[in-house]
Amino acid sequence: AEKKGRVEFRDVTFKYPGAEAPVLSNISFTAEPGKTLAIIGSTGAGKTTLVSLLPRLYDVASGDVLLDGVPVTEMDASEITSRVSAVPQKPYLFSGTIEHNLRFGKPDATDEELWDALETAQAKGFVEEKSSGLNRRIAQGGTNVSGGQRQRLSIARALVTKPNVYLFDDSFSALDVATDARLRKALKGKTKDATVIIVAQRVSTIADADEILVLDNGRIVDRGTHDELLETSPTYQEIVES
Ligand code: DGT
Ligand code: MG
């Protein structure tokens, strides 16, 4: 069967409600199942805004966002939620147990699925370290765990739902370089059939992506692989050197 999760942006322009200038202009790209698309760019470039359009946190003013050829504006929220898992830049944990937090998108997940997701997200050790395990309580907003632990639990939560599309918005930034590398390697094995879209600050996180979009001031200024961009993109070179 054909893999699901093809994401297409067609000439998308977006303005926040009430704002005058668009924060995204003429964005077009395709992300394919089995591939990793990365988005890089300076702070305020529009990366978070861009990835928020697929799960319809906002709807586009002009252009189309399509999932397997269907405009997301024609899909109901439950379909999008089951097919697209977003790990937000500021991951949110609920007051409740770790288990409750992990089952959020898939209430009927088995314990084995939860542990498997935790292992991939490099969060298994952290959960095992207390005897309460999956029943350990998380405070509202996840204030009793570190930023890196919140990121990893949020990644595990996304994995539990087994979506067609993963969106990682700067999800690896609070991790040290070694954990980041381990996590992404494990992730690769688990997301083979899915479309993976990664927003990153660190070039090392996305150097092996199939395609990288360089976003500047709401526009895609360059695109290509890491090696291609090193040759052709002054903006990318600046990010590499920063
Ligand atoms: P980051 O996370 O600091 O690397 O920056 P990006 O690339 O994720 O940027 P983004 O998409 O958060 O912001 C792009 C522009 O849109 C920036 O000028 C701030 C503005 N913006 C972001 N969120 C909102 C919002 O909720 N309302 C309004 N009016 N503007 C927003
Ligand atoms: Mg952002």
Mean pLDDT of the chain: 94
Measure Cα distances from 191 to 72, 85, 133 in Å: 22, 12, 26
Ion ligand 2: residues, CB < 5 A: 47-48, 89
pLDDT in tens, 206-238: 999 999 999 999 999 999 999 999 999 999 999
Q: Which of 40, 47, 167, 214 to mutate to test the pocket of ligand 1 (most atoms within 8 A of CB)?
A: 47
Residue, of 75 and 2, whose pLDDT is higher:
75
For the beta carbon of residue 49, count every other beta carbon within 10 angstroms.
20
Residue nearest to atom 24 of ligand 1 (CA): 16
pLDDT at 100: 95
- Closest-lying ligand to the alpha carbon of 201? 1
pLDDT at 1: 62
Domain ranges of the chain: 7-91+164-241
Q: Is the pLDDT of residue 155 over 70?
A: yes
- Which atom number of ligand 1 is nearest to the Cα of residue 199? 8
Q: Ligand 1 in contact with 219 (CB < 6 A)? A: no
pLDDT in tens, 50-87: 999 999 999 898 999 999 999 999 999 999 999 999 99
Q: Ligand 1 in contact with 25 (CB < 6 A)? A: no
For the beta carbon of residue 55, count every other beta carbon within 10 angstroms.
19
pLDDT at 143: 86
Residue type, 133: G
User: In the chain, what percentage of residues exceed pLDDT 70?
Assistant: 100
46 CA to centre of ligand 1 in angstroms: 6
In terms of Cα–Cα distance, which of 68, 45, 29 is closest to 197? 29
Q: Which two tokens stand for residue 237?
A: 């070179």
Q: Ligand 1 in contact with 23 (CB < 6 A)? A: yes
Q: Which of 48, 58, 170 to mutate to test the pocket of ligand 1 (most atoms within 8 A of CB)?
A: 48
User: What is the Cα–Cα distance from 196 to 5, expressed in whole angstroms?
Assistant: 9
State the DSSP code for 142: G
pLDDT in tens, 112-143: 999 999 999 999 999 999 999 999 999 988 88
Q: Domain 7-91+164-241: which topology?
A: Rossmann fold (3.40.50)
18 CA to centre of ligand 1 in angstroms: 14
